[in-house]
Amino acid sequence: MKKISVIGSTGSVGTQTLDVIMQHPEQFEIEGLAAGTNTDLFIEQVNQFRPKKASIGNKELANKISAHLPAEVELFYGEQGLIEVAAGTDAEIVVTAIVGSRGLPSTLAAIAEGKHIGLANKETLVTAGHLVTELARKKGVSLLPVDSEHSAIFQCLNGENFKEVEGITLTASGGSFRDFTREQLLNVTVEDALKHPNWSMGAKITIDSATMVNKGLEVIEAHWLFGLPYEQINVLLHPESIIHSFVEYRDGSVIAQLGTPDMHIPIQYALSYPNRLSSSSKRLSLAEIGRLNFREMDLERFPCLRLAYECGKIGGTATTVFNAANEIAVSRFLKREISFLQIENVIETVLSKHEAQLQPDLESIQAADEWAREVAASI
Ligand SMILES: NC(=O)C1=CN([C@@H]2O[C@H](COP(=O)(O)OP(=O)(O)OC[C@H]3O[C@@H](n4cnc5c(N)ncnc54)[C@H](OP(=O)(O)O)[C@@H]3O)[C@@H](O)[C@H]2O)C=CC1
Ligand SMILES: CC(=O)[C@@H](O)[C@H](O)COP(=O)(O)O
Ligand SMILES: [Mn+2]
């Protein structure tokens, strides 16, 4: 029986992780659950899965829910609560399904305690990839990708020697506005941006898909997960999201991973690795789909992807600032304070004011993250 903690259990990845766990009660058991503000769903989850430790966003919410939870569940709140759930139980795997760089301290705490990470929270690696991967290496901990593209690459690389890899290609759906010109983007609404063509996901990542920031974060995530230089990480537009990504080997072989766009599949693989378990996910029928399409990525149409590559190649706090500026810009767009195209202006303006520090320690990472948030909020 594998013991699992889920940080961000009420979100899109979190709830699908619990679906997988429910489908395999003989394989998995919940040790800890943590959520932000969705108290109704969290009360249900805690009563159903009966974790040893649970954590909610803040003290007020903890007071509100405590009477509704089983007496034996230890309840925590806030950042310390996330750390308790991530690092203070007997969990073998911690699924980081929280959104944003606020997931960093609990992820580092889990790794420090020797927990394997089912890594959905890509912002953690973009913010402090060198610290997370170095600590994981020291502790002998696996970073098991949950993100669909990275799960695909992980599966395609299985057992192969990295020296034989010529490159990897992450596929990108193009997001909600794939076929819009930049002029058409001037007047798009929040509602339009939240309509992803293939995946049902949380609001922040859905906006990131539309700006192509998501693919930028994923390029940086791939750099840290697979230890490849940016020159060997490519992006290809693939509107159907059926080929989740592929690896090109030096002998000309290309190995791809395919499947219906359903996050239950990569989530389950991260939990069951190195084994595979049965799944009720819809089967892929290429005959039904008939045709798959591909297009070269246009960095002028999607400048945020260009910015992500530039920051990745600089390294250090450049990617921290890229991520933090984007988090604030997306939150402002969702609150209708700025327009869709202003998201990229905010990121670019913050980056233009930042001098990257290379090999930053955690304190410098946190300072750069806070600074970028303040500047992004003031533009
Ligand atoms: N959704 C997807 O299909 C995919 C997502 N990812 C990545 O996974 C991560 C999660 O994405 P997604 O599930 O879509 O996001 P959601 O917005 O759906 O869920 C976010 C989760 O984080 C919790 N949370 C937010 N703030 C806090 C906080 N301060 N303290 C504790 N918990 C908090 C939320 O709790 P609450 O709702 O209770 O406030 C919720 O459980 C992101 O990093 C995303 O990039 C990667 C690949 C695919
Ligand atoms: C499901 C998943 O992994 C998302 O990150 C997805 O990749 C978003 O799709 P696009 O960013 O390609 O639109
Ligand atoms: Mn992805």
pLDDT, tens digit (0-9, with 9 covering 90-100), for 229-259: 999 999 999 999 999 999 999 999 999 999 9
Cα 324 to averaged position of ligand 2 atoms, centre (Å): 19
pLDDT at 213: 98
pLDDT beyond 80 at 263: yes
Would 203 be classed as within a structural domain? yes
Q: Is 10 in the pocket of ligand 1 (CB under 6 A)?
A: yes
For position 230, what pLDDT does the model report?
98
Is the CB of 268 within 6 Å of ligand 2?
Answer: no
Residue where one domain finishes, among candidates 141, 176, 208: 141
**DSSP sequence for 100-122:** SGGGHHHHHHHHHTT-EEEE--H
Q: Decide: helix, strand or coil at residue 248.
A: strand
Q: Report H helices in the chain.
A: 12-23, 39-49, 59-65, 78-87, 104-112, 122-139, 148-157, 190-193, 203-211, 213-226, 264-272, 286-289, 303-314, 317-334, 340-352, 362-378
Pocket test for ligand 2, best of 150, 195, 201 (most atoms within 8 A of CB): 201
Q: What is the DSSP string of 157-204?
A: HTT--GGGEEEEEEEE---TTTT--TTGGGG--HHHHT--SS----HH
- Residue 223 and residue 333 share a domain: yes
- Domain membership of residue 286 (yes or no) is no
119 and 241 part of one domain: no
Residue 123 identity: E
Residue nearest to atom 35 of ligand 1 (CA): 36
Whether 116 and 192 share a structural domain:
no
> What average pLDDT does the structure give for the chain?
97
Distance, CA of 353 to CA of 356 (rounded, Å): 10
Task: Give the end of a domain, one of 141, 172, 195.
Answer: 141
Residues 308, 219 contacting (CB under 8 angstroms): yes
Flag whether 7 is in a domain.
yes
73 and 122 both lie in a single domain = yes
Query: What does the alpha-carbon distance between residue 280 and residue 275 come to, in Å, rounded to a whole number?
Result: 16
In a domain, 204, yes or no: yes
Q: Is residue 155 part of a domain?
A: no
Question: 100 and 173: one domain?
Answer: no
Judged against a pLDDT cut of 90, whether residue 364 lies above it is answered with: yes
User: 108 and 22, same structural domain?
Assistant: yes
Q: In whole angstroms, what is the distance from residue 374 CA to residue 228 CA?
A: 32
Same domain, 22 and 112: yes
pLDDT tier at 216 (50, 70, 90 boundaries)? very high
Give φ, ψ of 118 to 5 degrees: -90, 100
Residues 158-202: pLDDT tens digits? 877 778 999 999 999 999 999 999 999 999 999 999 999 999 999
Q: Is 216 in the pocket of ligand 1 (CB under 6 A)?
A: no
pLDDT at 143 over 90: yes
Amino acid at 206: T
Q: Which residues surround ligand 3, an ion (CB under 5 A)?
A: 147-149
Residue 282 lies in a domain: no
Q: What is the pLDDT of residue 160?
A: 78
In a domain, residue 330? The reply is yes
Q: Are residues 221 and 312 in the same domain?
A: yes
Average pLDDT over residues 321-342: 98
Q: How far is the CA of 75 from the centre of ligand 2 (A)?
A: 33
Q: What is the 216 CA–ligand 3 centroid distance (Å)?
A: 10
Q: How far apart are CA 75 and CA 61, in angstroms?
A: 11
Interatomic CA distance for residues 21 and 3, integer angstroms: 10
pLDDT of residue 227: 95
Domain carrying residue 124:
2-141
What is the model's pLDDT at position 30?
Answer: 98
pLDDT at 161: 74
ipTM field? 0.99
Query: Is residue 220 within 8 Å of 312, Cβ to Cβ?
Result: yes
The CATH number of whichever domain residue 227 belongs to comes to 1.10.1740.10
CATH of the domain at 135: 3.40.50.720
- Residues 188, 91: one domain? no
Q: Concatenate the DSSP letters of all residues of 260-294 into one string.
A: -S-THHHHHHHHHTTS-----SPPP-HHHH-----
Residues 265, 242: Cα–Cα separation, whole Å: 13
| Shared-domain flag, residues 205 and 77 | no
Q: Is residue 151 part of a domain?
A: no
> Residue 133 pairs with which residues in a beta bridge?
none
- Ligand 2 center to 172 CA (angstroms): 7
Q: Could you give the dihedral angle defined by the CA atoms of residues 62, 66, 72 and 76, in that order, rounded to the nearest 10 degrees?
A: 0
- If you take atom 3 of ligand 1, which residue's CA is the nearest one? 201
Name the DSSP class of 357: P
Residues 182 and 109 in one domain: no
Count of the separate structural domains present in the chain = 2
**158 assigned to a ligand binding site:** no
271-290 residue pLDDT tens: 999 999 999 999 999 999 99
Q: What percent of the chain has pLDDT over 90?
A: 98
Q: How confident is the model at residue 76 (pLDDT cuts 50, 70, 90)?
A: very high
Ramachandran bin of 175, using left for φ above 0, alpha for ψ from -120 to 50, beta for the remaining angles = left
Longest dimension (CA), the chain: 62
The CA-based angle 230-232-235, given to 5 degrees, is: 85
Residues 329 and 234 occupy one common structural domain: yes
Domain's final residue, options 141, 170, 186 = 141
